[in-house]
């Protein structure tokens, strides 16, 4: 038996402290003394060029050469002639245009797109475009401003400029080259002074990583590097849990951090500096945890803001040093469980939400699960959008991205049980997770005969206890060959007898073909890889309903869900269900 507890913290004191820090920070930044403190040694070169841990996309790079900016499947557009949207931007207007969303601005100011330009075959044209865009940025944004100089954005910009220095600095224009290097130094000094302003979690983590890069590759960076090493140790101990999960409980955050830390490890090696021991240990913990959150298609499960990316191959990114590590199936600290037998993978969220300060991307999905067979996803959560293309091309043209993502954070958007159409965790107006499960008890048992026997797992949460006097317990069983997956959902009444209804939802991936078997009130599910499964339920009425899948990051896709409904009974309410593989003749 195990138990995970969420620290209880009221959001108001934290909000008051944060507002106070923001006011003090703005007063400091607006005075002449801060600008004076950014003055310092003027570097004439980088000490070395680090390697970008992420590959560039030559197709996107070719579009960038023509002034087209593409991210998450979306092309950044502007108002054109006769009301027709235009896609091409000049280097000057991209940095001064009004009305660009914060998501686009964050992507632009981070300069990660330099890797796409660097990946094109037309290196001369790419180099000129990169120089034009950077020169235009310097003309407009080389002095502090609150958005583009936020620590997490500034850090990614420092890393991108350094990793792609040959692209942006291979020029005969010595004045431009001097401006770039001097800007790097000034931004690094600003980052060193304002690093604690970054939001706790991934933002502060990347800010510390950026400070490490500045200390490693800018001359006279020794003091920054010493401080960065100390901060790195502190943040890694906070963000990376003992079992390799991350404090935000997001698979995407874990994978992004792994890539960033791999890049940082190589940066230390490139500079012939000793790699921090805490960095090595963090990578060793992260890799097995990321593998545990990976489906048979090689991509991540959709929990807490994660999304599906068919171009992302997690095992390839882990590299030879880490890809061979065994998946950490039993997340005793992160709360994720992996049940894998045969070609079946089940991944379950068996933990409470993150601590308040780290819960920005958390969903109300406690005890939800996803299931895949081979390379085919079967049961999923709804996922999250990163951006949205032309609304006219989407199923919900009148719904904004923020509204869709708020819907996606609800319990009803997850493959779990929901009581009375109410979230098991409260999603606050500021995006954090408020009241919800504080305790998750769990127990995992495996057949000891061979290490590859059947798996039993059980977990319960108290997210509905305060409002309805109910606890939710979910039991799972996966056979030794992976062809028989069963579950039981139980509502345990602690108090109260008011009439309540429940729904147990099983969202299906858009690629799944589902047919109702009228003969025995079951559903037959067919996958692209040829596998067929029969779903049966006892203890509720099952029906097929419409759903919306947001897991492809750039656009919503219509999908189906199986919904089991019923009424809460005194004592215990029990729903049993199963997914069983069908033979070819069935």
For 204, list phi and psi in degrees, rounded to 5: -70, -30
Per-residue pLDDT at 384: 87
Place of tokens 């954005």: 153
* CATH architecture, domain defined by 38-292: Alpha/alpha barrel (1.50)
Sign of CA pseudo-dihedral 163, 165, 167, 168: positive
Residues in the chain: 586
Please report which confidence band the pLDDT of residue 26 belongs to, taking 50, 70 and 90 as the band edges: low
At 520 the three-state DSSP class reads coil
pLDDT at 325 > cutoff 70? yes
At 174 the three-state DSSP class reads helix
| Cβ–Cβ under 8 Å, residues 302 and 252 | no
Which carries the bigger pLDDT value, residue 145 or residue 367? 367
Place of tokens 């933002």: 203
Q: Among 303-307, 388-392, 493-497, which stretch is predicted with the lowest mean pLDDT? A: 388-392
Place of tokens 């109410």: 422
Mean pLDDT along residues 183-187: 96
Q: Is 328 exposed, middle or buried (0-12, 13-18, 19+ CB in 10 A)?
A: buried
Which carries the bigger pLDDT value, residue 39 or residue 424? 424
Cα–Cα distance, 410 to 441 (Å, whole number): 22
Mean pLDDT along residues 322-344: 90
Per-residue pLDDT at 33: 47
Per-residue pLDDT at 391: 40
Q: Is 135 exposed, middle or buried (0-12, 13-18, 19+ CB in 10 A)?
A: middle
Of 79, 76, 55, 54, give the one whose Cα is nearest residue 66.
76
pLDDT in tens, 27-45: 555 554 455 455 556 778 9
Please report which confidence band the pLDDT of residue 23 belongs to, taking 50, 70 and 90 as the band edges: low
| Cβ–Cβ under 8 Å, residues 562 and 506 | yes
Per-residue pLDDT at 390: 44
Please tell me the pTM assigned to this model: 0.91
Q: Among 145-159, 182-196, 232-246, 436-450, which stretch is predicted with the lowest mean pLDDT? A: 436-450
Please report which confidence band the pLDDT of residue 265 belongs to, taking 50, 70 and 90 as the band edges: very high
| Cβ–Cβ under 8 Å, residues 118 and 56 | yes
Q: Return mean pLDDT, the chain.
A: 89
Mean pLDDT along residues 425-448: 92
Mean pLDDT along residues 370-378: 98
Which carries the bigger pLDDT value, residue 317 or residue 248? 248
Helices (H), strands (E): how many in the chain?
A: 16, 21
Which carries the bigger pLDDT value, residue 450 or residue 436? 436
pLDDT at 558 > cutoff 50? yes
pLDDT in tens, 464-499: 999 999 999 999 999 999 999 999 999 999 876 778
* N-to-C CA span, the chain: 39
Please report which confidence band the pLDDT of residue 349 belongs to, taking 50, 70 and 90 as the band edges: very high
Mean pLDDT along residues 186-193: 95
pLDDT at 8 > cutoff 90? no
Per-residue pLDDT at 100: 85
Helices 202-217 + 174-194 axis angle, to 10: 130
pLDDT in tens, 391-415: 434 455 445 777 888 899 999 999 9
pLDDT at 521 > cutoff 90? no
Tokens representing 286 are 């992260």
Per-residue pLDDT at 475: 98
Tokens representing 287 are 């890799």
pLDDT in tens, 149-183: 999 999 999 999 999 999 999 999 999 999 999 99
pLDDT at 229 > cutoff 70? yes
**DSSP letters spanning 463-506:** TTHHHHSEEEEEEEEE-TTSSEEEEEEEEEESS-----EEEEEE
Which carries the bigger pLDDT value, residue 101 or residue 191? 191
Per mean pLDDT, which of 27-41, 84-98, 175-189, 438-452 is the most reliable?
Answer: 175-189
Give me the half-sphere count of Cα atoms (radius 13 Å) on the Cβ side of residue 43. 21
Domain ranges of the chain: 38-292, 369-581
Tokens representing 464 are 């509905």
Per-residue pLDDT at 312: 66
Of 256, 176, 272, 172, give the one whose Cα is nearest residue 217.
272
Per-residue pLDDT at 162: 98
Sign of CA pseudo-dihedral 86, 90, 94, 98: negative
Please report which confidence band the pLDDT of residue 455 belongs to, taking 50, 70 and 90 as the band edges: very high
Tokens representing 489 are 């959902």
Q: What is the DSSP letter of 575?
A: E
Buried/exposed 376-412: b ≥16 CB within 10 Å, e otherwise: bbbbbbbbbbbbbeeeeebeeeeeebeebbebbbbbb
Buried/exposed 294-321: b ≥16 CB within 10 Å, e otherwise: bbbbebbbbbbbbbbbeeeebeebbeee
Which carries the bigger pLDDT value, residue 33 or residue 301? 301
For 60, list phi and psi in degrees, rounded to 5: -65, -35
Cα–Cα distance, 464 to 523 (Å, whole number): 30
Mean pLDDT along residues 365-374: 98
Parallel/antiparallel/unpaired status of strands 501-508 and 417-419: antiparallel
Per-residue pLDDT at 285: 96
CATH number, domain 369-581, options 1.10.260.40, 2.70.98.70, 3.40.50.970, 3.40.50.2030: 2.70.98.70
Of 461, 440, 487, give the one whose Cα is nearest residue 339.
487
Torsion angle of the four alpha carbons 65, 71, 74, 77, in this order, in degrees rounded to the nearest 10: -50
pLDDT at 69 > cutoff 80? yes
Mean pLDDT along residues 545-574: 93
For 265-307, what is the HEC assignment?
Answer: HHHHHHCCCCCCHHHHHHHHHHHHHHHHCECCCCCECCCCCCC
């Amino acid at each position: 038996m195990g138990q995970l507890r969420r620290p209880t913290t009221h959001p108001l004191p934290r909000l008051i402290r944060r507002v106070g820090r923001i006011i003090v920070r703005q007063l400091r930044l607006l005075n002449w003394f801060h600008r004076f403190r950014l003055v310092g040694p003027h570097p004439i070169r980088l000490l070395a060029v680090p390697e970008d841990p992420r590959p560039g996309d030559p197709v996107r790079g070719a579009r960038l050469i023509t002034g087209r900016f593409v991210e998450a499947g979306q092309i950044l557009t502007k108002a054109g002639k006769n009301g027709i949207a235009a896609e091409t931007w000049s280097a000057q207007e991209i940095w001064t245009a009004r009305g660009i969303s914060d998501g686009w601005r964050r992507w632009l100011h981070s300069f990660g797109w330099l890797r796409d330009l660097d990946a094109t075959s037309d290196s001369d044209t790419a180099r000129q475009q990169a120089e034009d865009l950077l020169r235009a940025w310097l003309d407009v944004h080389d002095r502090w401003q609150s958005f583009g100089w936020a620590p997490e954005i500034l850090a990614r910009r420092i890393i991108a400029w350094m990793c792609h220095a040959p692209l942006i600095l291979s020029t005969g224009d010595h004045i431009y080259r001097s401006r770039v290097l001097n800007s790097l130094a000034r931004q690094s000094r600003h980052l060193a002074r304002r690093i604690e302003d970054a939001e706790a979690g991934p933002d502060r983590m990347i800010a510390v990583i950026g400070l490490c890069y500045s200390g490693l590759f800018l001359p006279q960076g020794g003091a920054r590097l010493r401080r960065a090493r100390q901060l790195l140790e502190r943040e890694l101990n906070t963000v990376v849990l003992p079992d390799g999960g991350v404090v935000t409980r997001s698979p995407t955050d874990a994978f992004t951090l792994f890539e960033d830390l791999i890049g940082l490890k190589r940066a230390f090696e490139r500079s012939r500096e000793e790699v921090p021991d805490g960095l090595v240990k963090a990578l060793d913990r992260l890799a097995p945890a990321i593998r545990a959150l990976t489906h048979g298609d090689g991509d991540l499960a959709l929990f807490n803001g994660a999304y599906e990316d068919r171009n992302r191959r997690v095992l390839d990114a882990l590299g030879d040093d880490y890809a061979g590590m065994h998946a950490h199936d039993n997340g005793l600290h992160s709360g994720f469980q992996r049940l894998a037998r045969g070609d079946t993978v089940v991944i379950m969220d068996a933990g409470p939400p993150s601590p308040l300060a780290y819960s920005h991307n958390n969903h109300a999905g406690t005890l939800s699960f996803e299931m895949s067979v081979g390379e085919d996803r079967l049961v999923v959560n709804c996922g999250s959008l990163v951006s949205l293309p032309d609304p006219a091309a989407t199923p919900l043209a009148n719904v904004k991205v923020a509204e869709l993502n708020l819907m996606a954070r609800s319990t009803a958007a997850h493959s779990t049980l929901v009581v009375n159409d109410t979230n098991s965790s409260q999603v606050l107006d500021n995006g954090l997770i408020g009241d919800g499960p504080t305790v998750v008890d769990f127990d995992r048992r495996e057949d000891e005969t061979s290490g590859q026997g059947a798996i039993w797992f059980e977990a319960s949460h108290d997210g509905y206890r305060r409002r309805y006097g109910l606890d939710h317990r979910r039991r799972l069983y996966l056979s030794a060959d992976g062809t028989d997956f069963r579950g039981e959902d139980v509502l345990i009444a602690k108090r109260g007898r008011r009439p309540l209804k429940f729904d147990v939802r099983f969202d299906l991936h858009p690629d799944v073909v589902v047919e109702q078997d009228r003969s025995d009130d079951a559903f037959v599910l067919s996958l692209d890889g040829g596998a067929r499964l029969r779903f049966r339920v006892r203890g509720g009425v099952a029906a097929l309903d419409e759903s919306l899948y947001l897991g492809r990051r750039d656009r919503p896709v219509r999908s189906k869900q199986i919904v089991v409904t019923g009424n809460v009974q005194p004592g215990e309410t029990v729903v049993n269900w199963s997914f069983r593989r069908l033979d070819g003749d069935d």
